[in-house]
Amino acid sequence: MKPLAIKDDIYWIGSVDWNRRNFHGYSKSHMGTTYNNYLIVDEKVTLIDTVAEEFWGTLKCNIANVLGDRKIDYFVINHLEPDHAGCLALAVEKYQPEKIYTSPMGQKAMMAHFHYKDWPVEVVPTGTNINIGKRNLTFVETRMLHWPDAMLTYCPEDKIAFTNDAFGQNWATSERFADEVDRSKLEELMRNYYANIVLPYSPVVIKTLKALEEMNLDIDTVCPDHGLMFRGEDCAWAFKKYQEYAEQKPKNKAVIVYDTMWHSTEKMAKAVASGLAEEGVSVRLMCMKNNHHSDVMLEVFDSAAVILGSPTHNNGILPLMADMLTYMKGLRPQNKIGSAIGSFGWSGECVKVLTQWIEDMNMELVEPVKVKHVPDHDTLSQCFDQGKAIAAAIKAKLAE
């Protein structure tokens, strides 16, 4: 994709990765991603972030399309992750910038990644302003959103915020702005990105949004490092969505995450689902043999309850459930009700193991159900009643 003028003398010069299918451990199916970076042409030409190293050729071409033979004076590096700073060493060598601006933690990350000796790095803590000619740039540290080095760059003259990973989505498109695509798909992908990457840092998101509000920044364009940019009223929409995501208010919804060996646990899962549905709770059943853990996490994200199911396997649980629970626990979902189901042949540890995971994730526990070998009518009735009990707990939580 060719460079795109966002505003006068400010350009998107990123790359579209149509074939990326795995990102930070989560699957994006057919959606791909973009690596957005930006160029400001002023008295001091300023490059904001780079792209993944495999797109170095595209970056050079885009810069040449905008600048011709004119040099780049400054680099601003908002985030040192390789999908954004992968070309940094190559770019420093080629363009020989006068200064490289980054956050205090960014300077440490830059040294750890590139082991440089003589780069002209200048640390810019929150509140630092630099002048590049007609424009000024203000820097705001956004630590742990989602790396310690994260930083936002704001240009008051153009009311534009370069937000690195915040407000991003993984979506390879020929369109560049949110108002050019289907809103429901955009929201789904932004929520997916949040649920699988930003979720553990929700307290930081809330703190950062409040700090930005207190700074009273006038923003009419938001430029993340992945996916579509936001302009006009869509900026407020993006901020509102992040506030909503960070608050993690559950919906009247439950997700049953399970794996099964000879279908006994699956039968139990369906009975629990029937009990939930009987009480008007929206239910998702997700077998780990057929669903990627990132797709499951998207459903867990806004669910009020998470029911875990597995038979006993080698005195524990099935490996796909262990994988899912490791992933889920790391993302630290909040405000959840939890319960467990499982069948066993002789040792019977499955429900105990699943319950421990529930307790470790600080979920409100509803009494689990387990059965030896194959559930009969009485056991399935017990599972149905378990679903109704979980539904009651959901209603109580939503009424709080």
**CA distance readout (Å), 9 to 64, 67, 70, 134, 170:** 14, 10, 14, 11, 26
CB 206 within 8 Å of CB 214: no
Active site residue 266: no
**Per the residue annotation, which of 158, 165, 234, 299 is the catalytic one?**
165
Q: Which of 9, 24, 53, 116 is catalytic?
A: 24
From the candidates 81, 141, 158, 234, give the one annotated as an active-site residue.
81
State how far the Cα of 137 lies from the Cα of 295, in Å rounded to an integer: 38
Catalytic status, residue 165: yes
Q: Spot the catalytic one: 84, 141, 226, 299.
A: 226
List the catalytic residue out of 17, 83, 141, 149: 83
Is 79 an annotated catalytic residue? yes
Return the structure tokens found at 55: 């797109």
Active site residue 378: no
Return the closest-CA partner of residue 273 out of 286, 263, 264.
286
- Round to whole Å and give the CA distance between 377 and 382: 9
Whether residue 24 lies in the annotated active site: yes
DSSP state string for 245-312: HHHTPPEEEEEEEE--SSSHHHHHHHHHHHHHHHTT-EEEEEETTTS-HHHHHHHHHTEEEEEEE---
Query: Would you say 184 and 169 are in contact if contact means Cβ atoms under 8 Å apart?
Result: no
Q: Is 9 a catalytic residue?
A: no
> What are φ and ψ of residue 174, in 5° steps?
-85, -20
Q: Is 193 a catalytic residue?
A: yes
SS3 of 364, please?
strand
CA-closest candidate to residue 291, choices 316, 255, 317, 261: 255
- CB neighbours of 100 closer than 8 A, spacing ≥ 6? 74, 75, 77, 92, 110, 119, 120, 121, 122
Active-site residue identified among 146, 292, 293, 313: 146
Within 316-374, where are the H helices?
319-331, 350-360
- Tokens at 82, concatenated: 């390789």
Q: Residue 218: how many CB atoms within 10 A of its CB?
A: 8
Q: Which of 17, 38, 73, 79 is catalytic?
A: 79
DSSP class of residue 69 equals T
Spatial separation of the C-alpha atoms in residues 381 and 230, rounded to whole Å: 50
Question: Of 193, 194, 201, 245, which is the active-site residue?
Answer: 193
Query: For residue 375, which of 389, 386, 361, 359 has the smallest C-alpha distance?
Result: 386
293 catalytic? Reply is no
Residue positions annotated with a catalytic role: 24, 79, 81, 83, 146, 165, 193, 226
